[in-house]
Amino acid sequence: MKIKARTVAIATSLLLSVGTISCAQSNQSPSQTTEPPATEAPQAAAEPEQPAVAKVPIATGTFVTVEQEHPTAGTATIVEENGKRYLEFDETFTTAEGPDVNVILYRGDTLPVNLAEADYQTLAKLEQFNGAQRYEIPDAINLGDFQAVGIWCKQFNVTFGYAGL
C-alpha cells in the first residue's frame, strides 16, 4: 500500500510541475519563449520532394479536315519533358475510323489528300480515334524538317486531317 501511495504522490507532483511550467510559458511574450508550447507535436520528416517536371511546349496547331468523309478535330502540341520530345493530342481530338491509320510528321505546312513517301515521317500507328494521347518523337528526327502533323491512312494513302505546327 505504501508503494502505491508513494507512486501516486510522485505522479501528482510531476503533473503539477508540468502544469506550472506550461502556465508560466503561456504568460511569456513570444520574444521570451525559447521552446515551442507543449501542445505542439513534432512534425514528421517530410518525404524528399521530387523535382518539378517542366513540360515545355515547342509547337502547337489545330487539326483541319482534309478528306471530308474523315473529319478530324482537336489540338496537337509538341512538348519537351525530361529531355524527350512528345507529340500530344488534347482531349478534344477526334478523327474518323479507318484501317492502318498513322500519325505522321509532314514536311509542308498543309497536307494534300494523297502523300508522296518522301514528304512524311511516320511516328506511330494512331492509338485511338478520339481523346488525349501522346507519342514520343525519336531523337533522330529533326523537327526543323517538318511543319505539320497528320492523321493518315496508309492502306488507301488518304490524309484524314492535319495540324500545322
| CA 127 – CA 52 distance, rounded (Å) | 28
Q: Indicate if the pLDDT at residue 144 is higher than 60.
A: yes
For residues 26 and 24, give the distance between their C-alpha atoms in angstroms, rounded to a whole number: 6
Instruction: For each of the domains in the chain, give its residue range(s) and CATH number, in order of start.
Output: 1-47 (no CATH), 55-164 (2.60.40)
Q: Is the dihedral of CA 109, 91, 122, 146 positive or negative?
A: positive
Euclidean distance between CA atoms 20 and 24, whole angstroms: 6
- The overall average pLDDT reported for the chain is 81
- Cell numbers 482534309 correspond to what residue? 66
Task: State how far the Cα of 137 lies from the Cα of 83, in Å rounded to an integer.
Answer: 11
Q: Are 87 and 150 in contact (CB under 8 A)?
A: no
| pLDDT for position 21 | 41
- Which pLDDT value is given to residue 117? 93
User: Cell 508513494 maps to which residue?
Assistant: 6
Residue 118's pLDDT band, with cuts at 50, 70 and 90, is: very high
Cβ contacts of residue 103 below 8 Å, gap of 6+? 87, 122, 123, 124, 125, 126, 135, 149, 150, 151, 152
Quick check: 24 pLDDT over 70? no
